[in-house]
Structure formats: structure tokens, C-alpha cells
Amino acid sequence: MSGGSGRSDDDPMEEEEEDNEDDDAASSSCSLVPSPTASANAGASSPRTMTTISRHYFGGDSSADDHVFFIDIIENMREDYGMFVWPCSKVLAEYIWQHRSRFSGVPVVELGAGTSLPGLVAAKVGANVILTDNSYQTEVLDNMKRMCDFNKLNCEILGLTWGEWDEPMFNLHPQIVLGADVLYDSTDFDDLFATVAFLLENSPGSVFITTYHNRSGHHLIEFLMVKWGLKCSKLLDGYSFMPPCKACSLQGNIQLVEITLDKQLSR
């Protein structure tokens, strides 16, 4: 069941949201509550599925700052990768916040959105956002809709599987394509870059902004970028722009890269 008006008065997630209203504005909170599925199955022999609501803070140094806001993310600790906020999502979301004027009024598509933190931040700062994830992962897509309702943000939800050319794909014309930690499984890289190249070609002047852990496999990434006529236009250390209070909770070598069409190769 999706959130927003679909939640019942005794929904544990709604109660958790009310409890968090008194949190200090500069803090991040994370609390465990049983999911509706777990509540329905209370007393069963299998362990309960636990849902966590994490609050992510963006803005000034205090709650008095006009630009301060929170994004609440619904995570499921027993589901797949698409139901957890990974460090790369936090880095990309912070980058969007710091470059918010670039996103205002702009059409944005997030690929492999999962818990959708970057896309939700983009929507919060005024972008017209379409959140996408694997068409076959209906539980992830349902959770994305619930989070939009939970945060009172109007984003379109679309099932989009990399490398599959369904009709809705041809109607996407983003100026900015987002992807957090989408360069994870090397078996998906070719389909991912094929999809990115199509979206960039469909929207002249557009850019793909992604964050990723600098793992082995970078030679394959470079090869596929050339194959699909793409080039790196900006490369940053993810920690170079993260506030210290956020950077201290992250691990790994996280990079942010902006990718565009290579006009010389695409001729």
C-alpha cells in the first residue's frame, strides 16, 4: 500500500514521522518500525521484516535558515539493494543541493533510483523529476511512490529496465540524467551506457551525473563510454564537496562524474 492519503490513522510510519518533528533540525535520525507486512504476519515463525525511516538534512547551519529541509526515506532492511540508501546516493543528493539553481525547472530522470534520495532532492529544489527503476522490481517502484507521497513531492514513477526499449523510453527528454551507484554490477554496464546514450541523444545538450565507488572495472567503463560515444566532462572526489559532518559517516573511494555525448565520436 502506498503512502500519503493511503496510510491509515494507525500506520506506524505515520506515527514515526510525527515523532521526528521534534528532532533537532541539524540532525539525522534513523528508527526501526515494523512494516505493514510484518504486522500482518505477527506471530509467524519467520523473523519480522523491519522498515527504517531515515531523515536526510540539507541546508544551512540551523533550522532558522530559510533553505533548510529534510527528506525522509523509507528503507527495508530485508529487501534488495533498491530499498537501502547507499553512500553514493547521499553524495549525489548533496551535489544536487549545492548546485540547486542548475536543477530548478529542469526535466530530470533518475536511473536505478531505488530509494530515490537524489531525485527527491532534485524535486524539492524545483526540478521536474521522473524516478525510474527496473520494471520487474514492483516492490521498489511501489516504495518510490510511497516516498513521494511521504515527502509531499510530485514525481512521476516509471519502470525502466536498462537495455530494453519500451515505448515510454522514447518520450523521455531529460536535460539531466541522474544515477547513484549504478556502476556496481559490471554485467549491467553495457545496458546502462546504451540507455544513457539514448537519453542524451534524445535531449541535445543533456548530461548524465553519476556517483560511484572507484572499484576495479574502470577499464571496462572507459571502453563502453567510447563504444557508446560518451565522454567525461567533469570528475570530482565525492568528499571534496561533502560537509564534514556528512563525510565522516561515509566509507570508500566515491567519485562523481558528469558524462556527455562525445560529439566527435557521434558524428
At 110-161, the pLDDT tens digits run 999 999 999 999 999 999 999 999 999 999 999 999 999 999 999 999 999 9
Query: Domain extents for the chain?
Result: 52-261
Higher pLDDT among residues 13 and 146, named by residue: 146
CB atoms within 10 A of CB 99: 13
- Indicate whether 11 pLDDT > 90: no
pLDDT averaged over every residue in the chain: 81
| Mean predicted confidence (pLDDT) in 166-182 | 96
CB atoms within 10 A of CB 15: 13
Instruction: State the Cα–Cα distance between residues 207 and 217, nearest whole angstrom.
Output: 22
Query: Whose CA is closest to 143, among 71, 20, 51?
Result: 51
**pLDDT for res 84:** 83
At residue 68, the pLDDT reads: 73
Q: How confident is the model at residue 98 (pLDDT cuts 50, 70, 90)?
A: very high
Tell me the C-alpha distance between 244 and 108, whole Å: 28
pLDDT at 188: 95
Least confident of 6-15, 101-110, 147-156: 6-15
- Global pTM value: 0.79
- HSE-CB at 68 with a 13 A cutoff on CA atoms is 14
Q: Which of 167-195 are b and which e, b meaning 16 or more Cβ less than 10 Å from the residue's Cβ? A: eebeebebbbbbbbbbbbeeebbbebbbb
Max Cα distance, the chain (Å): 63
140 close to 133: Cβ distance less than 8 angstroms: yes
Those residues whose C-beta lies under 8 Å from the C-beta of residue 200, and which sit 6 or more positions away, are: 177, 206, 207, 208, 230, 259, 260, 261
pLDDT digits over 53-86, tens only? 899 999 865 444 456 788 988 887 555 566 789 9
Sign of CA dihedral 50, 77, 90, 226: negative
**Which amino acid is present at 105?**
G
Q: What DSSP designation does 77 have?
A: T
Residue 69 confidence (pLDDT): 84
Highest mean pLDDT among 13-22, 37-46, 115-124: 115-124
Phi, psi of 60 (to 5 degrees): -75, -160
Q: What is the CA radius of gyration of the chain?
A: 19
Q: How many residues does the chain have?
A: 267
Closest CA to 48 of 28, 29, 69, 34: 34
Across 7-16, 57-66, 198-207, 251-260, least confident range: 7-16
Separation CA 24–CA 191 (nearest Å) = 43
Homologous superfamily of the 52-261 domain (CATH): Vaccinia Virus protein VP39 (3.40.50.150)
Using the predicted structure, report yes or no on whether residue 47 has a pLDDT greater than 60: no
Q: Is 174 helix (H, G, I), strand (E, B) or coil?
A: coil
Phi, then psi, of 253 in degrees rounded to 5: -95, 95
Pair 74, 1: CB distance under 8 Å:
no
* Rounded Cα gap, residues 89 and 244, in angstroms: 17
- Give, as one character, the DSSP assignment of residue 160: -
